[in-house]
Chain A
């Protein structure tokens, strides 16, 4: 998968990568001499990385490409050999056929026994041969797995990790049908309340320390450790100190087994029932890539999706848990006019009629930087047709060092690029309020914002001849509106957001909208046709491509080429 921006200038010829020739399972392969480590710095390529390049995934628990290497689980042990060297002449020893003789690594005191090395932490060397599929490697894996399972409770039927558990998967591949362990298992703490969002089952833990390294080295909250010794080793926080930072739920993703579970998701849904949809987190302008897990039109969880240009493999807890409102019972489901339920056709005809006959300058539009870029593009088209001032609502919070952006709108840059708001969002809002107060603005169209919270109070709304509110959840503005148009959460439609750094990223539809709610772009198209503002493509792709052709910043970007990783635009 290429993360390269499609509109980036053609790269000049990259400097040649220095490679080493090695053999993996008997096949020659040239691999780069160095590869990025967990922080992206070039480090000597490891056997595990080389095997990956050769198409062989070496099983592992403690190794994670974005964490410092610990080398403690031993699951990635592989048999290997290096060119034999004549110690006296410092020349390689040759076979009879002239090829270089390979000395397989063996135990020094027992040369008939292969001595494996952990692939995650052993650098490759010229001429090295790695045997990730050899019988000796297989035996090492089986032995390590057997050892990891000694004190494991084997409670897969009630374990949340079942279906996405590395231990379960490896057991299928490398495990044995029956246990040879006849002694009593060590019992460790169960259902430990590690923090407000995490429950720990120490018996399931394989002590890979991914969680310890993540919270220490990535988050900078050195909250977890291993206490006790030997088979009593236990992951723990300090007694009385809750594991509570804004990134704790990433440890649940990192945990290769079912030891760390999310209080939010635990016992809710079997993972194999979940439909996975590629989405974008809407909680701030970082635009973390997510996988939405849904079943039967209900969203059950968000998980981070890897995108090194945006969020790496992480996301914050607040963003991850910000999905429950999608299924709220009080979602706006009905198209209403004057409080009475009506049809889309009737509503759009009525609104279009009123807007089309409104004098120029008497309409204002407040859009939301939570809307998709395509919707904002259409809103701008509507505003241009009506001569309406527009703006969006700024939403500021505190940024952190890792992912959370101070801008809590997912698409502030989309609003700017489409011309809905200016560099400083919200500066038009007081002018719109003044316009309503002095009677010049008599119609207001609001998308996804409660303007009563942003300087256009209920008293001003009461003065309007026409108030159209499109939203997802009820608020004071929808309560005051003459027309309510129920809209969609991002998870219920397709579209794009432009994040704080100008990366335009697309997201797909995970679940159906509730009730009569429709994606805003759909009824905006009808509204635009109704006021005579022209015809636009009806699909998210078509709209995006039309918009990209019109707005210079998007030049060269196409929906199809956005891929899963997005593209950079100038902001």
Chain B
């Protein structure tokens, strides 16, 4: 499976690169566009970006792995983001995430986002979702669940991803 960029997208990105005094400054915009198009930033996308901007692939990979919102693998259809910042951590967000992981057969002790093999769910810890008063908070795709309980978790899971 080859890596190919639609001509339109490539032209758009080429134009974008010219807007920066240094080409490398366009790295993040390139990566956003590629993630938007492919659903994640693959190593091929990193190499393509690097060659376009006159960088070494490792320079771009550093960016991709630093920013949590860049994904190196495609996410599941239902994305479960469990807040782990202070209020939620104290209100039991670790248990919430463990609950999701156990029910979905994922490893609760592993770091980072995990996706079920069937591609239905992705579970991960995130930093503050800005609803500390309702801790613990979970975001399922674009919906915020405040004061999340085990029952709320099961309701999300019962929709089948």
A residues near B (Cβ < 8 Å) are: 186, 222-229, 232, 236-241
Contacts and interface: CB of A to CB of B under 8 A. Distances in A.
Interface string B61-84: 110011010000000000000000
Given A225-B62, A238-B61, 10 more contacts: A222-B58, A227-B65, A228-B66, A229-B66, A229-B68, A232-B111, A236-B58, A238-B46, A239-B61, A241-B58
Contacts of A225: 58-59, 61-62
Contact of A223 (B47, B58, B65): B58
Contact of B56 (A227, A236, A238, A240): A238
A222 B111 CA distance: 29
Nearest to A237: B58
Contacts of B47: 238
B146 interface: no
A241 B57 contact: yes
A226 B57 contact: no
A215 to B, nearest CB: 10
B31 to A, nearest CB: 14
B65 A222 contact: no
B56 A226 contact: no
A239 B47 CA distance: 10
B43 interface: yes
Nearest to A221: B56
14 contacts: A186-B111, A222-B56, A222-B58, A223-B56, A224-B58, A225-B58, A227-B61, A227-B62, A227-B65, A228-B65, A229-B66, A229-B68, A238-B61, A240-B43
Please list the 9 inter-chain residue pairs (A to B) with the smallest Cβ-Cβ separation, ordered nearest first: A225-B58, A227-B65, A238-B57, A222-B56, A238-B58, A225-B62, A228-B65, A229-B66, A227-B61
Interface of B: 43, 46-47, 56-59, 61-62, 65-66, 68, 111
Nearest to B111: A232
A229 B66 CA distance: 5
Dominant secondary structure at the B interface: helix
Contacts of A226: 62
Contacts of B61: 225, 227, 236, 238-239
A237 B111 CA distance: 21
A224 B57 CA distance: 10
Nearest to B62: A225
Contacts of A228: 65-66
Nearest to A243: B58
A503 to B, nearest CB: 35
B121 to A, nearest CB: 23
Contacts of A223: 56, 58
Contacts of B58: 222-225, 227, 236-238, 241
Contacts of A239: 43, 61
A188 to B, nearest CB: 11
A225 B56 CA distance: 10
B79 to A, nearest CB: 20
B71 to A, nearest CB: 14
A14 B136 CA distance: 71
Nearest to A228: B65
Contacts of B59: 222, 225
A186 B59 CA distance: 24
A560 to B, nearest CB: 49
Contacts of B65: 227-229
B1 to A, nearest CB: 16
A455 B96 CA distance: 81
B87 to A, nearest CB: 20
Which of B46, B57, B68 has the most CB atoms of chain A within a 10 A radius of its CB? B57
A240 B111 CA distance: 23
Contacts of B57: 238, 241
Nearest to B55: A222
A553 B59 CA distance: 50
A227 B60 CA distance: 10
Contacts of B66: 227-229
A238 B60 CA distance: 9
B108 to A, nearest CB: 13
Contacts of B111: 186, 232
Contacts of A241: 57-58
A227 B68 CA distance: 12
A226 B61 CA distance: 9
A567 B31 CA distance: 55
Nearest to B65: A227
Which of B47, B61, B66 has the most CB atoms of chain A within a 10 A radius of its CB? B61
Contacts of A232: 111
Contacts of B43: 238-240
Nearest to A225: B58
A237 B59 CA distance: 10
A237 B58 CA distance: 6
Nearest to A239: B43
A233 to B, nearest CB: 9
B64 to A, nearest CB: 8
A89 B2 CA distance: 71
A194 to B, nearest CB: 12
A220 to B, nearest CB: 11
Nearest to B56: A222
Which of B65, B68, B111 has the most CB atoms of chain A within a 10 A radius of its CB? B65
A232 B47 CA distance: 23
A229 B62 CA distance: 9
